A and B are shown apart, each in its own frame.
Chain A
């Protein structure tokens, strides 16, 4: 499949067309050639043509850049739209001086591009291996996008939610609405268990009522699955799509999109409001390309809201420099302070484990919880440690379980823990976020390991005391030497507990200081 730059008979600007869509009267300026070898064209103007009669293509392509396979159309079907300028086409890989950059995932690391001999273009084709799971973008692939009018959505949306906000939540919700209206940036810094999801509802409602499209990006599929039914219930009139690796709603045009960060890569200039959940969580900080993906998905003047309990140092610095407006919720929705972790030295545990024994303090802690039937999380640094500890504990207590990310029975084990048949759950850091078990306590085994960063430890401490009935609880870090991360986590929690629950100083908004 080759492409050309063509001057159509009645136009003054050249357009990029597949060879197959070129007709006799057209003047070919470049090509035919592999699309990424053609020079870049300036973005074509939006045609004045009416496009009401093509809702299908509009729905599939608007705000996205898709490969031909993903459009569900053949080139013959796209030809009239390409010639009319309603659908435009760009190269998937942009040549750079080091190699290429992928237009979908922004990968430009030469080590992440493969080479194969392509049957489509009959040449050696370089392709991006970074986003290969979404389909191959190679030097001969073109990305199609909609250049006509945007689809319109009904602004008649009303929120069906009857919960009551705490004072902190109320203030945050108000700031969010203001940010969305002013298309500004905002960091919502709310402790674990503050009720972060609910405070978004009024903001999302306002955005949808103004006819805007909203993206709620989250790092994990589990969260998409949890949020989707909740939002559908409170916003029954809105068209909501949930996008994650295996979902089937990819072609649904929606005014509210809840997506994993990977799925946001397909969007371009699509959203007026972007809400990013757990900004500091894996894989956000690790993969800068995902941050770029969110940047690409939103329109140039879009409101951006970051949501987290543990902002990264970069975000915190921006807050200190007053370049990023912030609103803090230092209290949980039930108003009780966060449980403060205590440190417990447990000796060289690696040696003990090799001998098939647990360090004494850990063993006492586990036994206490198993015997009193009080649910407890034991966080461990790696899958290997997890397996060793699970086998040791299983010798005495067969009902305990261990879960890690590769575990196929993960969901059933967590469910067993929730309903109390499993008193103690040994887990890696996968359960550090989003899991709520009333009355649970938590311990970190080997808290000095690098994997337990400040944010991980704060999140783990945040598993405890989440219900109104049992707002307290024990959090222990078993260690062989305190680390900065452990101290910083404790300091973080103490500062949050000290902050006045609903003081004005918790919110800093740019416009007030202008």
Chain B
């Protein structure tokens, strides 16, 4: 249940709230694809991660290699191979920063809809059959914020897009997408990650996550895909992945909105 507006149609850009001024195209007559929620100006400022990047954390860099930070992670015997890899949709540039601030901190939950299509596409493309798991919030933070941003992103993996995709699914006879499972719980209430320095994040040893006791579900030899908003140092995702791997998960990957 997430809507950008309670009116039938909105013609303004979802982020800058200016009129979109789109020229009519074939899509207007034959709406196979949902109309874009952003105006051209905002859309163009979002920079997708394309081209060479780190094989593990998808940090953009000149060559397709494992980056220094990931080498450091992999050299730790405790954490080696804990997170198979992370894929991020966008670079964490100015507009992304503003969008995430408005979305998470000002509480504009519906802004997530901008990314719905691309999250779903990325998921179908690379992770069919993986069980989507959102990164949880502590109950205190959840009440404070009113929603869990990772949950919203995880829900998008389960939402077929338009007529076009439904038709594709039918013809390909692909297996249905496994339901989102909120397998993890955050039992320790911490300061916001964004308020800590890199060093503080890496030094925080204890793991705030636990496997939820509400599920009688065997994690053993299954594939999981974690969803979160930003990959900054990768600490959060690795801590969450560790809990799943400890209980025998076969592979844990991550989809994040932005690579910080």
On A, residues with C-beta under 8 Å from B are 69, 99, 109-120, 124-127, 129-130, 132-136, 138
Please report the C-alpha to C-alpha distance between residue A110 and residue B6 in the assembled complex, in whole angstroms.
5
**Bound complex: CA of A133 vs CA of B99, how far in Å?**
11
Q: Knowing A132-B107, A133-B102, A136-B106 touch, does A117 contact B2 (C-beta < 8 A)?
A: yes
Q: Are B146 and A118 in contact (CB under 8 A)?
A: yes
A117 engages B6 (CB within 8 Å)? no
Within 8 Å of chain A (Cβ to Cβ): is B1? yes
B interface list, Cβ under 8 A from A: 1-7, 9-12, 17, 102, 106-110, 142-148, 152
Inter-subunit contact A117/B147 (CB<8 Å) = yes
Complex CA gap A129/B1 in Å reads 16
| Residues A111 and B147 in contact, CB atoms below 8 Å apart | no
Interface centre among B6, B9, B11, B147, by most chain A C-beta atoms within 10 angstroms, is: B6
A106 to chain B, nearest CB (A): 15
The smallest C-beta distance from A408 to any residue of chain B, in angstroms, reads 9
Q: How far is the CB of B156 from chain A (nearest CB, A)?
A: 13
- Residue from A110, A114, A119, A126 in contact with B148 in the complex, judged by beta carbons closer than 8 Å: A119
Distance between Cα atoms of A118 and B147 in the complex (Å): 6
**Contact of A116 with B147 in the complex, beta carbons under 8 Å:** yes
A132→B108 contact, CB < 8 A: yes
Whether the pair B106, A114 counts as a contact (CB closer than 8 A) is no
- On whether the beta carbons of A111 and B9 are closer than 8 Å, the reply is yes
Question: Residue of B at shortest CB range from A115?
Answer: B3
Of B5, B106, B146, B148, which contacts A138 at CB under 8 A? B146
Q: Which of A69, A113, A120, A134 contacts B6 (CB 8 A)?
A: A113
A135 to B144, CA, bound (A): 12
The total number of A-B Cβ pairs within 8 Å is: 79
Our pick among A69, A114, A117, A125 for the contact of B5 (Cβ within 8 Å) is: A114
Q: Are the C-beta atoms of A110 and B7 separated by less than 8 Å?
A: yes
State the main secondary structure of chain B at its contact with A.
Answer: loop
Q: Are A119's CB and B145's CB within 8 A?
A: yes
Q: How far apart sit A113 and B106, CA to CA, in the bound complex (Å)?
A: 15
Selected from B6, B9, B106, B144, the residue in CB contact (under 8 A) with A126 is B6
Q: B112 → chain A, closest Cβ, in Å?
A: 9
B102 touches A111 (CB 8 A): no
Indicate which residue in A120, A124, A126, A136 contacts B108 across the interface (CB closer than 8 Å): A136
B22 to chain A, nearest CB (A): 16
Closest chain B CB from A246 CB (angstroms): 12
Question: In the assembly, what is the distance between CA of A158 and CA of B154, in Å?
Answer: 61
What's the minimum C-beta distance from B40 to chain A, rounded to whole angstroms? 12
CB distance from A250 to the nearest CB of B (A): 15
Complex Cα–Cα for A125 and B11 (A): 22
The residue on A at minimum CB distance from B103 is A132
Closest 9 CB pairs of A and B: A136-B107, A114-B110, A116-B109, A110-B7, A111-B10, A115-B3, A111-B7, A117-B1, A111-B5
B4 → chain A closest CB, angstroms: 6
Q: List 23 A-B contacts (CB under 8 A).
A: A69-B144, A110-B7, A111-B9, A111-B11, A111-B12, A114-B110, A115-B3, A115-B110, A116-B109, A116-B110, A117-B147, A119-B142, A119-B143, A119-B145, A120-B143, A125-B146, A126-B6, A127-B109, A129-B5, A132-B102, A132-B106, A133-B106, A135-B106
CA gap between A99 and B5 in the complex, in Å: 11
Q: A113 is contacted by which of B2, B5, B147 (Cβ under 8 Å)?
A: B5
Cβ of B106: which chain A residues have Cβ within 8 Å of it? 132-136
A286 to B7, CA, bound (A): 21
B17 neighbours in A (Cβ, 8 Å): 112, 129-130
